[in-house]
Amino acid sequence: MRPSVIMLLMCMVVSMSWGQTISGIVVDAETQQPLEYVAIFWKNSQAGTLSNEAGVFKIGKIPNHNILVFQMAPYHPFELIVNEISEYRVELKINEMERLEIEEHAGSQHLHGKDPHLFQTMTEQELCKAACCNLSESFETNASVDASFTDGISGTRQIKMLGLDGKYAQLMSDNIPDLRGLATVYGLGWEPGPWIKEINISKGAGSIIPGYESIAGQINVAHKGAEMKERFFLNGYAGNQGRYEWNTVSHHSVGDHFNWDWSSHLALNEGRFDMNHDGFLDNPTGREFNGRLHASYEGNEGYRGDYTVTALNYNSKFGTYEHFTAPLNLQSSQERYGVYLKNGWVLEREKEQSIGTQLSFTDYHMRFQQEGLPADENVYSGNQRNLRAVAMHALEWTHDVKWTNGISWNWDEYREQFHQWGGFNRTENVVGAFSEFSWNHDDLIQAIIGARYDYHNYYGGLLTPRVHLRYSLRENVHVKLMAGKGRRVVNPILDNPGVLASNRVVQIQPSGDYPNGLPMESAVNTGFVISGDTKMFHRKMTWSVDVFHTQFDQQVVMDWDSVGYLKMYALDQDGGARSISQTAQFETQFSPLKRLDIRLAYRYVNAYVDYATGRRDLPFISKNKLYSNIAYSTKMFGKNQRVLFDVTAKWSDRQRMPMHQDDTLFGVGAYSPTFWMINGQIALAKEEKWDVYLGVENIFNYRQNRVVVYSHPESGSTTFDSNFSYAPAFGRMMYVGFRMRLGGE
Amino acid sequence: MLLLIIATTAVSAQSKKTEEVSFWVAGVCGMCEKTIENALDVKGVVAVDYDLKTHQVHVVFKSAKISVNQMHVLLNEAGYDTEKSTCTDAQYDRVHGCCKYRDLKDH
């Protein structure tokens, strides 16, 4: 605070001695009314002022600064380039996004009521509630996304959304589609939670701009990096399952235009435990290194560039516990590099226009090995290289009419090797064009209509349309309707990485002259949402109900129901076969007491497929799910300190298990039992400085006792299958951690 | 079950008579909003909401336990001017650098 006063004095001195005072008036662009309390300051300096009741301001010129920033919520910040000392008239435009943020300042996880997409944001504060080592674990407190294990031993988690596997959700990193193809499932484990600023979850097909690959939804991860307030962020974590983590994020400014930040992540899994006594390690051991370097440049002429480089190295080992008589060891190793370049120019024309480009390259290697079974079964290696280029133009015709057009090119080279099949390769080349039109009337009704046409070198021309509508019944009750198509290409092995932790035979029934004989999957998703807020206990209470229906018109059915096999075949659409997932979710959030927030949700899922052997529910889906989260914070004490308490309780209904030989083997029969999962956390925090936290996951120590079917070759038959995992094998888990923020303002 | 108990306690706790008041407080940023709301996180205040856009704070309170004047004093104590009373320079010094509403305005 001192420097700002000194700077102000300095600029007053300067303005008095040289008489160089910039003055003028700030008004609302639409109403032309003068605006009071607009913050006006020289960019990258501490020197500033506020406009008065009449919207009038005066500010002294300071040396080496010629960009004057006008800032007040909910307006777009405006930058005025001052070339001469004179009087200026500045008009500020309302920023719709900002308006939403202000109106919906509704806690650490909130719904964007007015956005025609069903769009939910999980903030950093929300992510802190879970042990949250990585992205796949960060949905613990979210009712829309579930995370479960792909198999009983590798520790790999996959998500589910709208009753569908995570592969049908499009993952993005800072709005660039990422973690695609072979990386779809494993990729979730590579995004360290402490690097994340917020996660945006959009249910339903979503915007067409990032591509056609979203069917159930879109998940975008925004990184802290450049927008971090503090200079340095540090996080340490230790859990009694033997996991240790170290995360840093550091931010630097160079001059007025250039910022850069780097993030690092180191994780060690040292724990060798067999808490459920099934002879297999509950969690993998191994280590992970992960780094990210990001720089941004903001030019004077409306240019902004973001340049990012990432690198990852991950090794893990799992399998039988130490004293097992016939050991079975599995290991996986992964490496990934990425380069992402984003450029944007705001054009100064009559209408507000901007041009954006995205260019990215990733290279991913994965290798999986089994040692112990005859002939080292299920050895797999895969390599995917991706190159993606997009150029787009956004035009704001009027405040209410926006139009975005663009072209894209996507190239994927897959080189895979699977011991059951030998080598199989494919190179995908997709060029496309897209257009999205947004129209808003009186803030009452809004429509976003988009479509893209892509030409795929294997699958030909693909038209993908999407429509989102929002109508406000009242100021705070919104109805949304959405419909959209989505599609994706199947990766037979890594879409189902759990199969590698088994000796199942992977069998494809080819159905055409396509790569691997598999058609492209495509589905139509329709949704209806009604959401609103009201006053309850003198505070804001929000509620929402959403219903989604996803129907595949083409799908590669993953059939786990033949013992010893994973069969893949095209859905027999012509024969009347259907693959449908229907979900309904109710969610409410309210605050009955000061600093006490309660969130409750219920979800119903009905997801079934007509397999070759008849109609069955999808395996590992709970028809009913209950979810609740209670968060309480004490009053501030001392110097901005408080204690935070958080409890999440979830109930899962029975889940259909894939067919297995011996129903008594797992004690679960055709269905898993129902169970509660309760997590709790206590944290002591000093606002924006540091916090220490202590948590327990799975307080009641619920465990799945048999996760793996394994009979040693010497016993006559060789069976190894870990694809029956519906709950954690480790049981109760405790952890401690700290976060430090250094060098803030 | 636990939720029900909490919810019912909350209802019964708040069924006693409350009053509401709105007044102007000088605040310029999200940090001000937090500080203002925290300053009024005291006994007798049932709910506080500060609106940055209108600079109005809305308070639901029990008049038996706290008066509106006391709220003005609490806000001054936290470094914020209100429509009724201005804080002393010493109090104003407590305001964080980015919240220096007065210095900026007086320029």
**Residue A714: pLDDT band by 50, 70, 90 thresholds?**
low
Return the axis-axis angle of helices B68-77 and B30-39, rounded to nearest 10°.
Answer: 130
Average pLDDT of the residues in A207-233: 90
Nearest chain A residue to B6 by CA: give it: A592
Residues of chain A neighbouring B74 (CB-CB closer than 8 A): none
The answer to whether residues A364 and A183 touch, using CB atoms and an 8 Å cutoff, is yes
> In this complex, do B97 and A593 lie within 8 Å of one another by their Cβ atoms?
no
Residues of chain B neighbouring A74 (CB-CB closer than 8 A): 53
The answer to whether residues A543 and A550 touch, using CB atoms and an 8 Å cutoff, is no
**Residue A6: pLDDT band by 50, 70, 90 thresholds?**
very low
| Interface membership of B37 toward A (CB under 8 Å) | no
Digit-coded pLDDT (tens) for A349-386: 777 889 999 999 999 999 998 877 665 566 899 999 99
Residues of chain A neighbouring B3 (CB-CB closer than 8 A): 598, 600, 628, 630
* A22, A539, A593, A678, best to mutate vs chain B, most B CBs in 10 Å: A593
A640: left (phi over 0), alpha (psi -120 to 50) or beta: left
Nearest chain B residue to A2 by CA: give it: B97
Average pLDDT of the residues in A660-670: 65
Give A35 to chain B, closest Cα distance, Å: 11
> In this complex, do B3 and A12 lie within 8 Å of one another by their Cβ atoms?
no
The answer to whether residues A394 and A438 touch, using CB atoms and an 8 Å cutoff, is no
Percent of chain A predicted with pLDDT > 70: 91
> In this complex, do A594 and B97 lie within 8 Å of one another by their Cβ atoms?
no
Residues of chain A neighbouring B60 (CB-CB closer than 8 A): 538
Backbone angles phi, psi at A188, to 5 degrees: -60, -25
> Which amino acid belongs to residue A535?
K
Angle at A133 between CA A128 and CA A138, to 5 degrees: 60
Digit-coded pLDDT (tens) for A461-479: 999 999 999 999 998 899 9
Q: Judge whether residue A725 has pLDDT over 70.
A: yes
Q: Judge whether residue A429 has pLDDT over 50.
A: yes
Q: Judge whether residue A13 has pLDDT over 70.
A: no
Average pLDDT of the residues in B67-91: 88
Q: What per-residue confidence (pLDDT) applies to A375?
A: 56
- How far apart (Å, rounded) are the C-alpha atoms in residues A94 and A194? 32
**Residue A195: pLDDT band by 50, 70, 90 thresholds?**
very high
Window 47-106 of B, Cβ < 8 Å to A: 47, 49, 52-53, 55, 60, 93, 95-98, 100-101, 103-105
Average pLDDT of the residues in A68-73: 77
> In this complex, do B47 and A74 lie within 8 Å of one another by their Cβ atoms?
no
Residues of chain A neighbouring B98 (CB-CB closer than 8 A): 745
Could you check whether the bond before residue A74 is cis, i.e. omega within 30 degrees of 0? yes
Task: Out of B2, B45, B47, name the one closest to residue A539 (CB).
Answer: B47
Backbone angles phi, psi at A655, to 5 degrees: -125, 140
> In this complex, do B105 and A12 lie within 8 Å of one another by their Cβ atoms?
no
Q: What per-residue confidence (pLDDT) applies to A324?
A: 62
> In this complex, do B107 and A1 lie within 8 Å of one another by their Cβ atoms?
no
Give A593 to chain B, closest Cα distance, Å: 6
Give the burial class of B42: count Cβ atoms within 10 A of its Cβ; 0-12 exposed, 13-18 middle, 19 or more buried: middle
CB atoms within 10 A of CB A231: 16
> In this complex, do A4 and B100 lie within 8 Å of one another by their Cβ atoms?
yes
Q: Judge whether residue A99 has pLDDT over 50.
A: no
Count of A-B CB contacts under 8 Å: 80
Q: What per-residue confidence (pLDDT) applies to A162?
A: 93
Which of A17-26, A173-182, A441-450, A553-562 comes out lowest in average pLDDT? A17-26
Give A451 to chain B, closest Cα distance, Å: 37
Identify the contact set of chain A against chain B, taking CB-CB distances under 8 A.
Answer: 1, 3-5, 8, 12, 37, 39, 46, 48-50, 52, 58-59, 73-74, 102, 537-539, 592-596, 598, 600, 628, 630, 635-636, 687, 745
Task: Out of A3, A537, A635, name the one closest to residue B41 (CB).
Answer: A635
> In this complex, do A12 and B10 lie within 8 Å of one another by their Cβ atoms?
no
| Interface membership of B21 toward A (CB under 8 Å) | no
Q: Is A515 helix (H, G, I), strand (E, B) or coil?
A: helix
Q: What is the ipTM of this complex?
A: 0.78
Digit-coded pLDDT (tens) for A311-348: 999 999 998 876 666 778 899 999 999 999 999 998 87
> In this complex, do B97 and A745 lie within 8 Å of one another by their Cβ atoms?
yes
pTM attached to this predicted model:
0.83
Q: What per-residue confidence (pLDDT) applies to A370?
A: 83
